[in-house]
Amino acid sequence: MLPIHIEGTPEFESTLSALRIRGTGDLANVTPAVTEIINNVRRAGTSAVLGYIEAFERRTPKALVRHAGPEAEGGFGGAEALERLAPEIRAALETAAARIARYHERQRDAGDLGAADVAPGGPALQAGFSYEEDGVLLGMRVRPLRRVGVYAPGGKARYPSSVLMSAIPARIAGVREIVLASPSPDDVTLAAAHLSGVTTLLDSGGAHAIAAMAYGLPELAPVDKIVGPGNAYVACAKRLVFGDVSIDGITGPSEILAIADDAADPRLVAADMLSQAEHGEDSYALLVTTSARLAEAVARELDAALPELTRRGIVESSLSTHAAALVVGSRARLAEVADQLAVEHVAFHVNDAEALLAEIGTLGAALLGRLTPVAAGDYFAGPSHVLPTGGSARFGSPLGIYDFVTRASVIRYSDAALRAQGPAIEKLALAEGLQAHARAVTLRLSSLALAPAAKRDPSRS
């Protein structure tokens, strides 16, 4: 079932070329339907959302929107759900939440959300930086978004892990209001929401949930940004609402590239590939290796494991349409092919994985060594598993606290600075034909010329 392509053959080149533009999906096919859904939700609000839930999910939620708090008082019941979980599931969920929080706290401490370097006498920039140059105070202020929407799918499978991986970075960044959209959430999802700091639950999925978060309902204020994975309808809806709200990106099908040399364990390589293939029929399970023998062994292991899998039909569909093994002639080519594909998950089944990673510039998450399963990154390790897909690792990054802040420039001129720089500013404005710009500088320079320096109030300079 795993097609094997040897470098130097026409099949190899055509397969590699096709894989570079993989997973984009034909959103054009669903755009008319999604556009209609968004417009209806904007026009009719709650009644439209409830109508789509009944039509698509065959149910009527007891409460469409619920806010955090005790279940008895109308909350979404996250704390109660956590208490109901089996002890081993609760412990695993709590440990995962703590690990994810610690990782993203380090992002905060290492990045531009750390302590500000405030110049003497300057304004208190809560985070970011500031400095003074030639009498001009310059800085960047960083503040968290006010309200964020998190989407967690609930169709073919439930993903409480996506709640943890999306909401916890938002909470660590300082976002005060976190809305979770997830249809018919079970106890594990509700418990994950509670542990993540979710403040509001929208009991809905699909494009209508995206529209509700983007434009608001009478009982739900609109959010500033929407993050999280979803199907083609969700991805299309995120694309269409972008501009009215921010989004983390257009997430496509899950994907993995296993990089293996001839010393790799084919059973473990196959296991990692299967772990991503089971996400959906459109998932990509890819292998690049220096060994044709290893590729053949992995193909056998994939076939042998299928009867054991509960989602066998999904996996078979994924492998039959989107799986491929690429056999290359050198270790250097392993890195080159990986760089061209820019895959979401890259599992390194090679000797000296760190050295090979250093040669690859574009990937979403690197799983280094035979003892690091992709599932560890999906659930437990710490970094968010919301990753760039479809080659967007060329310009995208894993979801992190930097996705949940805005940055503002801060500028303050002293009188000496304006005297020194004002004439050049005037000349540039007039060169662009913007007389009013130049006039705004000229008036200030004139006022400085008329006011004796000793009598000027320095606080107004």
**Known catalytic residues?**
344-345
Residue 143, Cβ neighbours under 10 Å: how many?
A: 16
With vertex at residue 404, the alpha carbon angle to CA 403 and CA 407, rounded to the nearest 5 degrees, is: 90
- The answer to whether the beta carbons of residues 167 and 196 sit under 8 Å apart is yes
d(CA 49, CA 35): 14
d(CA 407, CA 106): 19
DSSP labels, 231-273: -HHHHHHHHHHBTTBEES----S-EEEEEE-TTS-HHHHHHHH
d(CA 439, CA 347): 60
- The answer to whether the beta carbons of residues 127 and 112 sit under 8 Å apart is yes
d(CA 233, CA 207): 6
- Type and span of the H or E element at 450: helix 435-450
d(CA 202, CA 209): 8
What are the phi and psi torsion angles at 345 (to 5°)? -110, 130
Alpha-carbon torsion, ordered 179, 182, 186, 190, to 10 deg: -10
d(CA 216, CA 212): 5
- The answer to whether the beta carbons of residues 228 and 151 sit under 8 Å apart is yes
Report CA Rg, the chain: 27
Nearest to 245 by CA among 228, 230, 223: 223
